[in-house]
Amino acid sequence: MKAHTQETQAAITPQKALELLKEGNQRFLDSKKADRDLLEQVNDTSNGQYPFATVLSCIDSRVSSELIFDQGIGDIFSARIAGNFVNEDILGSMEFACKLAGTKLVVVLGHTSCGAVKGACDDAKLGNLTALLEKITPAVNAVTEPTDSSLRNSKNIEFVDNVAKKNVLLNIERIMKESDVLADMQNNGEIMIIGGMYDINSGAVTFYE
């Protein structure tokens, strides 16, 4: 499999970009990785890169976007931060990826049993991590069930996963609200911005379309 060129990137629609990620995740699940020479792709991309998607995911060691979507060198931009939330720097990176580098899809990817989400659910305090977890607190507050405070913590994995999903959706809202560049591109059909959830037990990604 060759690296993407300017021509192949231009031919990919936002919907096609999503299909490529779905197909890649299915190959990952089936243990049927695409036949690609990564060093050849290094050479192919030495004078330019033409990725088709941008994925914002958690730093979790189990959730490497290139692996779970079976992608190679130059295929996707991958932004990673604990709790997969957006801030000014990540928004700027996404604007570069889409407006200047031509990607057609933005995915905010959460995952089950997320440690950062668990920390936010428990209102954990630890150095600079404290401020990071506060970025996820709006998602914790937005999940209203259960009401029993004894069940609103990291021991309740169903609650944790519901917060993780809400965190994805709130960050998509934030992208649309805080980035006129990306919002305009989506409204014009140039890109698609969606969420997804990676299941650490199965390896499957569910997209919120």
What residues form the annotated binding site for Zn(2+)? 58, 60, 111, 114
Give residues with Cβ within 8 angstroms of 44, minimum separation 6.
Answer: 2, 3, 73, 74
**How far is the C-alpha of 174 from the C-alpha of 160, rounded, in Å?**
21
Rg (Cα) of the chain, in Å, rounded? 17
Cβ-proximal residues to 86 (8 Å cutoff; 6+ apart), any chain = 56, 94, 108, 171, 174, 175, 178
Q: What are the backbone angles phi and psi of residue 159, rounded to the nearest 5°?
A: -65, -45
Q: From its phi and psi, is residue 106 left (phi > 0), alpha (psi between -120 and 50) or beta?
A: beta
Distance from CA of residue 49 to its chain's centroid? 20
Report the run of H or E that residue 183 belongs to, with start and end: helix 180-187
Contacts of 36 (CB under 8 A, 6+ apart): 1, 72
CA distance 63 to 13: 25
Binding residues: 58, 60, 111, 114
